[in-house]
Amino acid sequence: MSDFIDGLEQDLVAAARRRTAESGGRRRTTRSLRTVVLALAIAVGAAGAAAAATLYTLRGAVIPAPAAVDVPPSQTLVPDSAEVSRLRVADPASGVAPWTIRVGRSSTGYVCSTVGQVVDGRFGLIGMDGRFRELAVGSTDSCGQERKGTVTLVGARIFAAKRARDVRTVISGVAGDDLRRVRLRTSRGTSDVPRSDGGTFVAVFAGYPEDVGAEVTLTFADGHRETEPLGVDPSVVLDPERGPAWRPQGGMMSGDARQCASFAHARPSPKVASSPAVCGLLTDPRSDGRVRKGFFLAARRLPPSRPRPRTSRNWFPGHWRGAARTAVWGATGDDVAAVEVTGPGVPRRSIYDAERRAILGVFPASVRPASLTITVTTKDGTVRTVRGDHGLVDEPVPMRMPPGTTMPGRNRP
Amino acid sequence: MGRDDRRTDEELLAATAHAPDAFGAFYRRHVEALLGYLLRRTARPDLAADICAETFATVLERIERFDPARGSARGWLFAIAGHQLVDSVRSGQVEDRARQRLGIERRALTDHDLERIDALLDRGDGDDLTVLLAGLPDEQRVALQARVLDERDYTEIAASLEVSEAVVRKRVSRGLAFLRGQMEGGRR
């Protein structure tokens, strides 16, 4: 093995250990935002300063396809089968080549699709350097088994970029000749998505799908509808000022019986905005901690502050980093069924993710926290109404450990 | 052969949350194939190494989002690598955001590293068993891996999979027939 291969393994395992330590082994499975292409099968499948980015200036004018050895037959495109759709969907920026989809068949008969742009009849991508590069015929985003009368492929391909305005989400799919209509719903509005032969469709917008709550609904000849929540997730909260979406975070400090909650941008980035952590007791510290009841929350106006680089070591920041917002955030026990908020200019709505037992609502900074009425309904039908912070516990509460046990890293001789 | 080698990719990813070494096993199983794949597409070992590192970091970061019902772990890994590669071409540089968030620094490559990665190019002879196995249905792949690669006997495999010995034999037989077809087809 080389130093690089061995060293990278050590780095990755060390990072995995840090994540395990931070989560206390309680890391839970989160539902994926369906931001990568949905398919039955999706495989396609320096000497220099360590800190410097590797520049990728492709010498040739074609982005090469994977070698045959690297892709299983189900994802190996039969070259003659690939056809660029007649669809041409304008990029949000003016003067940029339109987007489309290329569809073909794998050697095992799967339907494969690739999104790209068209310039002078050629299919490829325009780079940030403004240069067009063809995507070789064997390059596919996804392949899946054809399904009659329903959707075969649908997904959102995200083209990330350093500058937010350069990020693109291309929603595309293949749904067969029975497809009659595709509607794209986002926080910016609802629109019909252009379709073409074989039920291919393409839509493109600037930004990430979760920031606008993107969702497509397909209607078929027999009248049935299918909705794909490509940027919708119960835990993700849209930003009221059309900024990046938010997601609650929760956890416990080592040796502390309190539960803590904060929130941050849903999509991780080196300079992610994040809220202060607030904590409360959902368990009796004298108990074994299995039964969690009640709730705690903060309702505050958060003044503007510059986001800072975020690492796994400052997961629970002490103060707000982000643009000015008013927010309600916290956590509940197992006995809570619903949490709603209402106030002047704030129509009544849920701010509760029952699966994660997390409370999160984000509002413009013009909303006064004290004007917000938060209604908490428990499973036995009891309704409580609160304004402002509720149930917060600022000081750590020692966790009662069963006899004979010690906290990891503590009480060692 | 370590215990990890007997677990499926999907089991290794699932185990990573409480047993971080499982991710090391997943990495070791696929790193050379992934480097070879990236090298064949970029023709530059430094790029292949950088994209490979970012790909594994991304997999680790998103590990809770992996859903075996939507495809194999290997397929997921290579799909992420493919997207990283295309994004790198588009943006003109290889991202390191996932590594930054995980506290992993970019590693400098020595001449030995570059030679080692370059050598992976010669391995692509079209009969890479792991690639061929990836094209099999899960149950055949697991049975074939246990019988042919791990050399376990049918009784033991049947017990671990909680099926009859006859079922295991049938899965192995069908898997081998599929592989024969693929290898013959690839040589035509």
A positions 5-24 inside 8 Å of B (CB): 5, 7-9, 11-13, 15-20, 23
Helix axes A3-23, B45-61, angle to 10 degrees: 20
Please say whether the beta carbons of A328 and A349 come within 8 A. Answer: no
| Amino acid letter, residue A124 | G
Q: Over the range A54-64, which residues count as b (16 or more CB within 10 Å of their CB) and which as e?
A: bebebeeeebb
Chain B's closest residue to A47, CA to CA, is B109
Q: Mean pLDDT, to the nearest integer, of A199-207?
A: 95
Q: What is the distance between the alpha carbons of residues B92 and B105, in angstroms, rounded to a whole number? A: 20
Q: What is the distance between the alpha carbons of residues A233 and A214, in angstroms, rounded to a whole number? A: 10
| Structural Rg of chain B based on CA atoms | 18
Least confident of A54-68, A274-288, A356-370: A54-68
Q: Give the best residue of B77, B78, B121, B188 to mutate against chain A (max A CB count within 10 A).
A: B78
CA distance between the termini of chain B: 35
Contact pairs from chain A to chain B, CB under 8 Å: 247
Distance from CA of B166 to the nearest CA of A (A): 27
Query: What would you measure as the largest C-alpha separation in chain A, in angstroms?
Result: 75
Contact assignment for A45 to B64 by CB distance below 8 Å: no
B38 against B120, higher pLDDT: B38
Does residue A167 carry a pLDDT above 80? yes
A positions 330-389 inside 8 Å of B (CB): none
Contacts of B180 in chain A (CB under 8 A): none
ipTM above 0.90, yes or no: no
pLDDT recorded at residue A316: 47
Distance from CA of B67 to the nearest CA of A (A): 8
Of B100, B106, B113, which is closest to A50 when you measure between CB atoms? B106
pLDDT recorded at residue A130: 85
Q: What is the distance between the alpha carbons of residues B174 and B185, in angstroms, rounded to a whole number? A: 16
> Which candidate, A364, A324, A325, places its Cα nearest to that of A346?
A364
Contacts of A54 in chain B (CB under 8 A): 46-47, 50, 93-94
Q: Mean pLDDT, to the nearest integer, of B104-120?
A: 83
Contacts of A75 in chain B (CB under 8 A): 75
HSE-CB of A50 using CA atoms within 13 angstroms: 12
Contact assignment for A311 to B101 by CB distance below 8 Å: yes
% of chain B at pLDDT higher than 90: 21
| Structural Rg of chain A based on CA atoms | 25
When the pLDDT of each residue in chain A is averaged and rounded to a whole number, the result is: 82
Q: Which two tokens stand for residue A118?
A: 């068209």
A positions 265-294 inside 8 Å of B (CB): 268-270
**Quick check: A315 contacting B, CB < 8 Å?**
no
Q: Which two tokens stand for residue A312?
A: 């796994």
Q: What is the distance between the alpha carbons of residues B29 and B35, in angstroms, rounded to a whole number? A: 12
pLDDT recorded at residue B125: 42
pLDDT recorded at residue A160: 81
Q: Any idea what DSSP says for residue B146?
A: I
Does residue A49 carry a pLDDT above 50? no
Write the pLDDT tens digit of every residue in B69-94.
777 888 889 889 988 998 888 888 88
pLDDT recorded at residue B145: 76
pLDDT recorded at residue A241: 92
Write the pLDDT tens digit of every residue in A301-349.
988 876 555 444 444 455 566 789 999 999 999 999 999 999 999 999 9
Does residue A134 carry a pLDDT above 80? yes
Write the pLDDT tens digit of every residue in A262-285.
898 888 766 677 888 899 999 876
Distance from CA of A384 to the nearest CA of B (A): 34
Contacts of B20 in chain A (CB under 8 A): 13, 16-17, 19-20
Q: Which two tokens stand for residue A313?
A: 């070591």
Q: What is the distance between the alpha carbons of residues A89 and A135, in angstroms, rounded to a whole number? A: 18
B157 against A389, higher pLDDT: A389
Write the pLDDT tens digit of every residue in B129-155.
665 666 667 778 778 877 776 667 788
Contact assignment for A40 to B37 by CB distance below 8 Å: no
Q: Any idea what DSSP says for residue A208?
A: -
Contacts of A50 in chain B (CB under 8 A): 105-108
Q: What is the distance between the alpha carbons of residues A353 and A385, in angstroms, rounded to a whole number? A: 18
Q: Which two tokens stand for residue B20?
A: 């971080």
A256 against A50, higher pLDDT: A256
Contacts of A18 in chain B (CB under 8 A): 102-103
Of A3, A5, A17, which is closest to B31 when you measure between CB atoms? A5
% of chain A at pLDDT higher than 90: 49
Distance from CA of B11 to the nearest CA of A (A): 14
Does residue A199 carry a pLDDT above 70? yes
How many residues are recorded in chain B? Answer: 188
Q: What is the distance between the alpha carbons of residues A168 and B187, in angstroms, rounded to a whole number? A: 41
Least confident of A180-194, A222-236, A379-393, B60-74: B60-74
Write the pLDDT tens digit of every residue in A11-48.
999 999 988 776 654 444 333 333 333 333 232 332 23
Does residue A124 carry a pLDDT above 80? yes
Quote helix, strand, coil % in chain B, to nearest 5.
75, 0, 25
B56 against B181, higher pLDDT: B56
Q: Could you give the C-alpha distances from A54 to A58, A61, A145, B13, B51, in angstroms and in order?
A: 12, 19, 37, 28, 9
Least confident of A46-50, A163-167, A215-219, A403-407: A46-50
Q: Give the best residue of B113, B132, B136 to mutate against chain A (max A CB count within 10 A).
A: B113
